[in-house]
Amino acid sequence: MILFWSIGAALAAAALLLVLRPLLARRGGGGVSRRAANIAIYRDQLRELAADLAAGKLAQSDYARARTELEARMLEDVDAAAQPAPRRGGRGLAALVGVAVPVLALVLYLLVGSPRAVDLRADAHAVSEPQIEAMVERLAARLRENPEDAEGWKMLGRSYAVLGRFPDAVDAYSKAATRSPRDAQLLADFADALAMARGQSLQGEPEQLVQRALQIDPNNLKALALAGTVAFERKEFKLAADYWQRMLPLVPPDSEDARGIRENVAEARTRSGAAPLAKHPGVRGTVRISPGLRDKTGADDVVFLYARAADGPAMPLAVLRLRARELPVEFALDDSMAMAAGMAISGHPRVVVTARISRSGGAVPQPGDLQGASKPVKNDAKGVEVVIDAVVR
C-alpha cells in the first residue's frame, strides 16, 4: 500500500508539472507534437505499472487504482495540450484548467465498464486517442438509454471538453444542468465550454452561469477565475483583483497556481490605480497537533489555518490550506492571503490564529473536526504557537 501511495503521489506531481506549467505560461503552437509526446510518456508509465504487478510489487487492487489514476491524469494532460494559448489577463483561468477536470477516467470507467473486467494481462501501453474517444462514445450511447443520469451527462460534457468538442460539451452540460441545477462546479464548467464554443467570449450567458455558480458556492475556484476574467476584460480591474484575491486561500501558497494568481492580482490592482498591498510582516509561528489526537487524523486530511480579528468581524483575514501530513509546520499569514479587499491582517491590531483539521475537506466546521487556537496576539507577532487539541462538537 505504501508503494501504491508513492506511485499516486508521483503521478499527481507529474500531472501538475505537465498541465499547469504550460497553462500558466504564454504558449505558441506545437500542441499536436506535445500531445503525442505526453501520451508516449503515459504509455511508459503504464508499462512500468504492469511490470510492478508482474513482479509482485503491487497487489491487483492497487494496480487497478493506480492505472485508473494514471488514465485520469492522461486525460487531463490531453486536455491541457489541446487548449489554445491563454490571453493576457486570463491566466487565472488557465491556472485552474488542470484542477477543473475531475478524475474523469475513473468515473467513465465506473459508468461504462466493470472494475472486475480489467484485464491485468493486457498490453499496458496500448492506449491511444481513438480508445479515449471510444470510451466517450460508449458513455454517450449509455446516456441515450438513460437520459435522466445527471452525473453521466456531466461526465460526458467534461469528456467532450477534453476532446475539444465544445458544442457537444455545451449540449451535454445543458442536459446535466437541467437535472442538477445547484451544482456550482457543473455551472462553472458549463460556462467555460459555452464560452469556448462562442469564440472564447464569457459575455452574456456564460457570465450568468458563473454568477449562479458563485451564488451557490462563493469559493468555487473555477467560477472565481472565470468571474475575474470577465471583469478584467471589461476593464473592471478592481473587481477582477477582488475575485482573484479570493482564490489565493484555496490553493497551496507556494504552488505555481498561487504565483500566477498573485501576478494577476498585482496586474489588476495596478491597472485599477490602486496602491500595491502593503508589505506587512503578518503573523508567524508553528502549528502542531496534540499527540493524543494524532491517531484521529489521516495524512491527507485538509488543515485550514486562518487568522481573524480578536475584536472585530468573524470573517478570516488570511487563510492557509495545508495537509495533516505536514504537521508540525511553520506558518506565515499576511495580507497577500486576504479573503476580501479591505479585510487584511494589517488592518486589525490583534488577531487570533486558528487551525482546524477538516474530515470532509470543507471550509465549514463539522462535528468531529479537530481544532485549536492561539491566544490573541499582535498582528505582527512571531513565534505564535497553535496546538490542535480539541474535537469540534
Domain-located, residue 204: no
Domain-located, residue 124: no
The rounded percent of the chain whose pLDDT value lies above 90 is: 29
| Under 8 Å between Cβ of 321 and 249 | yes
Domain-located, residue 180: no
Angle in degrees, 0-180, between the axes of helices 91-100 and 2-24, rounded to the nearest 10 = 150
Q: For residue 333, what are the β-bridge partners?
A: 283
Three cell numbers, residue 307: 487568522
Q: Choose one of 70, 98, 117: the last residue of a domain.
A: 117
pLDDT of residue 317: 86
Contacts of 218 (CB under 8 A, 6+ apart): 246
Q: Choose one of 98, 117, 136: the last residue of a domain.
A: 117
Domain-located, residue 343: yes
Contacts of 224 (CB under 8 A, 6+ apart): 214, 243, 244, 246, 247, 250
pLDDT in tens, 140-175: 888 888 899 898 899 889 888 888 899 999 999 999
Average pLDDT value for the chain? 74
Give the Cα separation of 349 and 342 in Å (integer).
14
What CA–CA distances, in Å, run from 8 to 57, 98, 101, 254, 351?
14, 17, 17, 21, 38
Contacts of 52 (CB under 8 A, 6+ apart): 3, 58, 63
More confident residue, 311 or 39: 311
The distance between the two most distant Cα atoms of the chain, rounded to a whole number of Å, is: 64
Check whether 375 has a pLDDT greater than 90. Answer: yes
Check whether 187 has a pLDDT greater than 90. Answer: yes
What is the 3-state secondary structure of 311-325?
CCCCCCCEEEEEEHH
134: enclosing H helix or E strand: helix 129-145
pLDDT of residue 58: 60
Closest CA to 238 of 278, 266, 204, 209: 266
pLDDT of residue 163: 82
Exposure letters 10-47 (e unless 16+ CB within 10 A, then b):
ebeebbbebbbebbbeebeeebeebbeebbeebbebbe
pLDDT in tens, 355-364: 999 988 777 7
Check whether 121 has a pLDDT greater than 50. Answer: no
Domain-located, residue 248: no
Q: How many domains is the chain built from?
A: 2
Angle in degrees, 0-180, between the axes of helices 91-100 and 221-233, rounded to the nearest 10 = 160
Give the Cα separation of 34 and 172 in Å (integer).
28
Q: How confident is the model at residue 391 (pLDDT cuts 50, 70, 90)?
A: very high
Domain-located, residue 358: yes
Closest CA to 345 of 324, 331, 328: 331
Angle, CA 103 vertex, CA 97 and CA 106 arms, to 5°: 155
Contacts of 197 (CB under 8 A, 6+ apart): 166, 167, 169, 170
| Under 8 Å between Cβ of 28 and 89 | no
Give the Cα separation of 347 and 89 in Å (integer).
29
Domain-located, residue 239: no
Provide the 8-state DSSP code for 333. Answer: E
Domain-located, residue 87: yes
pLDDT of residue 20: 38
pLDDT in tens, 96-119: 433 334 334 434 444 444 333 333
Domain span holding position 385: 283-391
Angle in degrees, 0-180, between the axes of helices 221-233 and 237-245, rounded to the nearest 10 = 170
Exposure letters 304-327 (e unless 16+ CB within 10 A, then b):
bbbbbbbeeeeebbbbbbbbbeeb
Q: For residue 385, what are the β-bridge partners?
A: 286
Give the Cα separation of 84 and 71 in Å (integer).
22
Q: For residue 323, what are the β-bridge partners?
A: 302
Q: Choose one of 117, 135, 157: the last residue of a domain.
A: 117
pLDDT of residue 258: 79
